[in-house]
Amino acid sequence: MIPASYPDDAEMARLTARMLIEIGAVHFNPRDPYTLASGLPSPSYIDCRKLISFPRIRSTLMDFLACSVMRRAGFEAFDNIAGGETAGIPFAALIAERMALPMSYVRKKPKGYGRNARIEGDMHPGQRVLLVEDLTTDGGSKLEFVEAIRETGAHCADTAVIFYYGIFAGTEERLAEKGLRLHHLCSWWEVLAEARAQGAYDAGELAEVEAFLRDPRGWQAARR
């Protein structure tokens, strides 16, 4: 059941950052950077998949996300909730349950056998679909999933994620050009602020992380 009242956006962002830190989903390591899916280095890494193992935090964040989307898009704005393979699937199921809507999921590639489908579940032409995933960096994978949804004849103008990197210029503008609006709970900036507020991290490491967040491409180029 969706709560009737919930915090404003800023407080939800702060609490989301706090919960991600609490479960160990946030990692900082400037000395031995992580490798992102793009192949480029990063001194920070977020693992939203860990949320599925923490029911109290998982439930709270799904309430936050459902309420945030409905507040911005409307309470009767959707007919179907689609999860992106694979990390988006459990979160789409949880959001669909809260919003009392059908759920489906989108494969990254066709199965290669049987119906050779990319959409699993029951999706119809004309349905208004909300795409749910765990996070987005620059929005690239979202557009691929949305294309598959739209090929069914359904409409998809909104995508919701728990975490948005919020550091790569033009991401939301590029999504908007494709008719897609991004909803998210928090970004690296809220996580960095909460990490500093807790005082549980090395100040030098956090300074290096901030340098990356302010100029990610420059930071990466210097370490190739």
Percentage, residues of the chain above pLDDT 70: 95
pLDDT tier, 173 (very low <50, low <70, confident <90, very high otherwise)? very high
Examine the pLDDT at 2 and tell me if it is beyond 80.
no
Mean pLDDT of the chain: 92
- What is the pLDDT, as a whole number, of residue 224? 73
Examine the pLDDT at 213 and tell me if it is beyond 90.
yes
The average pLDDT across 144-148 equals 94
- What is the pLDDT, as a whole number, of residue 37? 74
Residue in the block written with tokens 């557009």: 143
The average pLDDT across 54-75 equals 95
- What is the pLDDT, as a whole number, of residue 76? 95
CATH 3.40.50.2020 matches 9-221? yes
Q: Where do the domains of the chain lie?
A: 9-221
pLDDT tier, 136 (very low <50, low <70, confident <90, very high otherwise)? very high
